[in-house]
Amino acid sequence: MAANASPTLNIGILIYPDVTQLDATGPAQFLARLPGGKLHMIWKTRDPVPTDAGFSIVPTTTFADCPQLDVICVPGGFGQVAVMTDDETLAFLRKQAAGARYVTSVCTGSLILGAAGLLKGYKSACHWAWRDMLTDFGAIPVAERVVRDRNRISGGGVTAGIDFGLTLAAELIGEDAAKTLQLSFEYDPQPPFDCGSPEKAGEERVKRLRERLLPMLDVRQAANQAAAAKLK
């Protein structure tokens, strides 16, 4: 490397079949603009990976070719259930986490980190509907949009990934530069409704949604228990 060259900041986002694309692309949009940063979208192969939104993301690198990352980020999604017991993926995360500056997640990606044994004793965010499942892995659930505990930084459900991305950007390039990044993307959320959390949505709406999620609850609980058993 030339004497005047800036060191590369390697940022990796795991993608996998049925990932929630906004969990990955929300923070990716911000992190891809960091000075000196290089963003890696990672999976086992370079074949297009279908998301739960019906379109695919093409990985930029594979487990085998991925450099040591400064930041590893794990998004959530319907496919999280399969990844939690995928030995190859969990081994990759453990290997990268050992040398990374920050080990991070968005939404139910924190459950994948838990399944890899990387959250025991750490506070973590997660989607509100599945947050309590973190305790299966010895993690401490926290009901906040973004949670930091030492070098673990986690975002809550889906859209919290954008807040997470800005928080991480501030850690890496400083608050002033992160604020400029926020302005450049005109991130000034003013949703038409104020019901984006159980506390604001009202008991009846939360009850109806929980009833719709019951089939997924059984599947996720079974996956959690299987993943937790492998850590013992």
Compute CA distances 180 → 30, 164, 175, 185, whole Å.
Answer: 11, 16, 9, 9
Contact 166, 181 (CB under 8 A): yes
Contact 6, 33 (CB under 8 A): no
In degrees and rounded to multiples of 5, residue 30 shows phi and psi of -80, -45
pLDDT at position 4: 42
CA 180 – CA 22 distance, rounded (Å): 22
For the chain, the structural domain boundaries read 9-230
| pLDDT tens sequence for the chain (232 residues) | 334 445 789 999 999 999 999 999 999 999 999 999 999 999 999 999 999 999 999 999 999 999 999 999 999 999 999 999 999 999 999 999 999 999 999 999 999 999 999 999 999 999 999 999 999 999 999 999 999 999 999 999 999 999 999 999 999 999 999 999 999 999 999 999 999 999 999 999 999 999 999 999 999 999 999 999 999 8
pLDDT at position 33: 96
Contact 26, 187 (CB under 8 A): no
By C-alpha distance, which of 89, 91, 133, 88 is closest to 110? 133
Whether the model pTM is above 0.85: yes
- The residues carrying an active-site annotation are 107
Domain 9-230, what fold? Rossmann fold (3.40.50)
